[in-house]
Amino acid sequence: MIRVSLTRMLYRMPISASTSPRRLSALFSGLVSTHTRRTNSSATPKIEVTCSLHAHSLGHDVATLTINNPLKLNILTEMVVTSLIDHCRALSTSPTLRAVVLTGGPVAAGGADIREMHALSSPAEARSFITHLHSACQALRDLPVPVIARIHGLCLGAGLEVAASCDLRIATKVSRFAMPEVAIGIPSVIEAALLPGLIGFGQTRRLLMLGEIIAAEEAEKWGLVEQMVEDEEHLDHNISDWVVRLVSNGSQAMRSQKRLIRSWEECGVNEGVQKGVEAFGETFENGGLEPREKMAAFLGRKRM
């Protein structure tokens, strides 16, 4: 299949600065033309983000959001972005939600739709387009529970910004990462601003200015992903372990911790410390039911 050959082509490209903008641009052009050829010969599958919600245990739900745009390697079209926003906003209202896993099937996310960007004709249209994509990243960040990015395959451009908007990232060994926007004449923007906090300004400049394709092993060393695993079997196993840990923690404590970490991204140390003091105090509202229950279980455990 064409999709497989394109994926293999990217895997075989040198993981270094020698990966020129011209080669990256050619790759993206290939994705667009592939979509055109295939849709002429077969029925177009439904393009959407699906959401499945299952009860991990009584009163503890875990959601899986799946980006589904197979003909275009999960490129984030306007339809996909709108669907992602809608699902995130709906999930945010669930009091029993404990964790969210974001995945993309055989490909993580292939970036924004170049056809849609090519059609932009004014600064106002461009601002509207990129603000809509930012809204999807913001919707992920605004989810009140931890979000895990399950990465297997390509994670490019806007797709990497979506992954950066998640709380935790785990990837298979074959995954590849790139921010090649400058190769097609635009800067990396919106949630690319999160990257310095993850990998530092030096590696951010390298990723955004050189347009390198980064292997999963390198991404783990940089801190772009929290963990790299061998294959999809290990990927799902480790995500399951993470979900168990998240669900077993105090549900209100987890929501409070996520809010705190978000606030730490945008404030100084002294302000962050004070926000932590306030959050700790709020934990003991209503008699401190959750911490007292968790602490009682800890104090009552059998000692070895």
Six token digits for residue 194: 């999160």
Contact 62, 54 (CB under 8 A): yes
Six token digits for residue 4: 């497989």
Residues 6+ apart with CB under 8 A from 48: 68, 79, 80, 83
Residues 6+ apart with CB under 8 A from 173: 216, 217, 228, 229, 230, 231
Residues 6+ apart with CB under 8 A from 252: 283, 290
DSSP letter at 266 equals: T
Residues 6+ apart with CB under 8 A from 164: 137, 191, 192, 194, 195, 198
Strand order in the sheet with 60-68: 48-57, 60-68, 97-103, 147-151, 168-172, 227-229
- Catalytic center residues: 161, 181
Residues 6+ apart with CB under 8 A from 104: 66, 67, 68, 74, 150, 151, 152, 153, 159
From 31, 29, 26, select the one nearest 13 (Cα to Cα). 26
Strands 168-172 and 147-151: parallel
Distance of CA 211 to the CA centre of its chain: 19
Place of tokens 């969210």: 100
